[in-house]
Amino acid sequence: MMTLGLRESIISTRAVGRKKIFQYQKFSYWLTKEDFHFLKENLSPKGIDFFASKRAVCVPLSKEVEIGFVPSDAWGKYPFCRRPLSWYKASPFVGRILVVSSFDLKEYHFTPETVIRECDFQPTKLPDREGKLKLIGQESYQKAKPSEWKDIDAEGPELHNQWLKMMGLREVSYEELFITHCANHANFIEPTYFIVGENRPVPYSIDKTSHICSACLEFFNIIGTQFRKKMVVPCPGAVLFAGMAANRYYEVLRP
């Protein structure tokens, strides 16, 4: 059960100091079974143990986990994430093992899929309801979305009500909240809301933590892989299980 303090950190906007040195950094990798066993064999003599995340895939994003992995059969085991993680099943990474490390694995000749860092980015423009519906209506999103993702009726009202209660969302239905969930992912497929960096679009999350779902899809490049950089707000799961900062943007860089 989510504690009151954690819930408040998710549903409130935290003030950010004028200047802060961010030390959070994670490297994510999608490895074959052979590469994963090779890595374990090389790290084991150094006393480095892997943390196995068998339910919530965002746990290895925690500062407390030096290096963790998500087995390919673990995706979708956590009830709140089962439907959202259908995106993984439709991705090029299906069957691979996700490794998330606090240190670069270049010594073992692995290139990270993403490098995740805390930053002080703040968007200047966010969509209203009409803008979100336009994002959802884009052909690119309609073609990309898995059929399981949009089938929210299969989960039932009990799970949805539990989610809304945990988030402290009393004046919105889950169906309405789902519009934001969809639009947020759509903006990382074909962005309308972005900044320009290095002459390239840098899409960003379009709402706060309590209204975001499955940010791991952007953190691990299941969605938005065509962009060198993304600005991603963690979803409630990443705050709850990995201790990421609610309502704060993280830079997601593809080397």
Q: Mention every residue, 6+ apart, whose C-beta is less than 8 A from residue 15.
A: none
Interval 153-176 mean pLDDT? 87
**Stretch 190-212: mean pLDDT, rounded?**
95
- Residue 10's pLDDT is 46
Largest CA distance in the chain: 56
DSSP E strands, 32-95: 51-52, 67-70
Identify the domain containing residue 29 by its residue range.
1-255
Q: What average pLDDT does the segment 50-73 reach? A: 93
Lowest-pLDDT choice from 47-51, 157-161, 213-217: 157-161
Tally of domains within the chain: 1
Q: For strand 67-70 and strand 51-52, is the pairing parallel, antiparallel, or unpaired?
A: parallel
